[in-house]
Amino acid sequence: MMRRLAIAALLVLAGPAAADVGLPRGWNFSGISWQDYEFGTDSVAGASSKAAYIKARPEIRTDGFGGMIQCIKAENYLGKRLRFSARMRSVAASSGQLWMRVDGPRTEQGGAAPVTLGFYNMGDNPIRGNTDWKRYDVVLDAPDNSVTICYGFFLAGGKGEVWADNLNLEAVGKDVPVSRSMVMPKGPVNLGFDR
């Protein structure tokens, strides 16, 4: 149940457009290709009451992703380690992913560019194919200069459906490891394309 989300300060970004596309209250859509996806909530076996879904439409026009996003102010979480968790299932899914991002202040030079202080989106280990309900976690630190925390889940690749239920955001101890993707290479590789 989405309402169970333990959220102190909700920044409701969702305007009327969000409701129009079937999003649950308090959620907005993310991804440039959200028109290629169907959003909603429904009763489904294994869910507590209703669960949220993202389904790829049959006629996918782009290569992007469609997702549900919610952003909150970071002020109640400064200095804490946060775990965003959900139970998820998938049906013939190309790539279902739970994610969270911690943004810092906007840059002095760029104006419009907040610093990304933490991010993880299961990009290295997405949910594919048919999977039964299973719990997934994203753990990030919210340093003292955090400004906004955004999180949600998305379906990338335009195939199948992904469901999420019992989403929860909570502070956890520092003994819980932070989620990390594979590390970016330090230097260029295979610039001659010979490998």
Name the site residues for other proteins (rule: CB under 8 A).
Answer: 32, 62-65, 97, 99, 101, 107, 109-116, 119, 121-124, 156, 181-195
Pick from 103, 128, 126: which is nearest to 116 by CA?
Answer: 103
Nearer to other proteins, 122 or 169 (CB): 122
Nearer to other proteins, 15 or 110 (CB): 110
Give the separation between CA 13 and CA 185, rounded to whole angstroms. Answer: 35
Q: How far is the CB of 153 from other proteins (least distance, A)?
A: 12
Nearer to other proteins, 88 or 150 (CB): 150
Tokens of 190: 């295979």
Q: How far is the CB of 3 from other proteins (least distance, A)?
A: 26
Pick from 44, 149, 75, 20: which is nearest to 28 by CA?
Answer: 20
Q: How far is the CB of 42 from other proteins (least distance, A)?
A: 26
Positive or negative, the CA dihedral 192, 188, 100, 181 is: positive
Q: Do 179 and 140 meet the contact criterion of CB atoms below 8 Å apart?
A: yes
Nearer to other proteins, 124 or 170 (CB): 124
Nearer to other proteins, 55 or 101 (CB): 101
Pick from 94, 169, 181, 83: which is nearest to 131 by CA?
Answer: 94
Nearer to other proteins, 6 or 112 (CB): 112
Tokens of 116: 């990304």
Q: How far is the CB of 117 from other proteins (least distance, A)?
A: 9
Q: How far is the CB of 183 from other proteins (least distance, A)?
A: 8
Q: How far is the CB of 184 from other proteins (least distance, A)?
A: 5
Residues 6+ apart with CB under 8 A from 82: 100, 102, 139, 140, 141, 142, 149, 169, 170, 171, 172
> Could you tell me how far CA 36 lies from the centroid of its own chain?
17
